[in-house]
Amino acid sequence: TQASIDEMKKSVDASSRFGPGVVYGLGLIGTPLSCGGTSWGHGGTIHGYQTNDAVGPDGTAVTIAVTAMPSAIADQSNLESSAKEKYQQIEDAVDATLCHK
């Protein structure tokens, strides 16, 4: 129900864990979009796979499944920075889809 979704979106600041402006509700992560508004979703990871999903303010939904964790395809000589860069590419694809870019 819409009441349940509204309850799930009641959130706390999670920017220290997920990045600037990100909030965490009851199982939902709210991420600011470059075009304004917030996307809501909650991806996951397990043994070499990762999913990122979100729904934008206009109801557009996106799911991206990756069959190699960013750290597995990152430059091993600069692992932390390279893995963050790979993860950001996934986040950018979600943002581009929800912002209709």
**Cβ–Cβ < 8 Å for 99, 33:** yes
> Nearest to residue 9, comparing CAs of 21, 24, 19, 20?
24
Which pTM value belongs to this model? 0.81
* Number of neighbouring beta carbons within 10 Å of residue 95: 20
The answer to which of 18-22, 31-35, 95-99 has the lowest mean pLDDT is 18-22
pLDDT digits (tens, 9 = 90+) for 61-82: 999 998 876 666 666 777 667 6
**pLDDT score at 74:** 64
Higher pLDDT, 85 or 83: 85
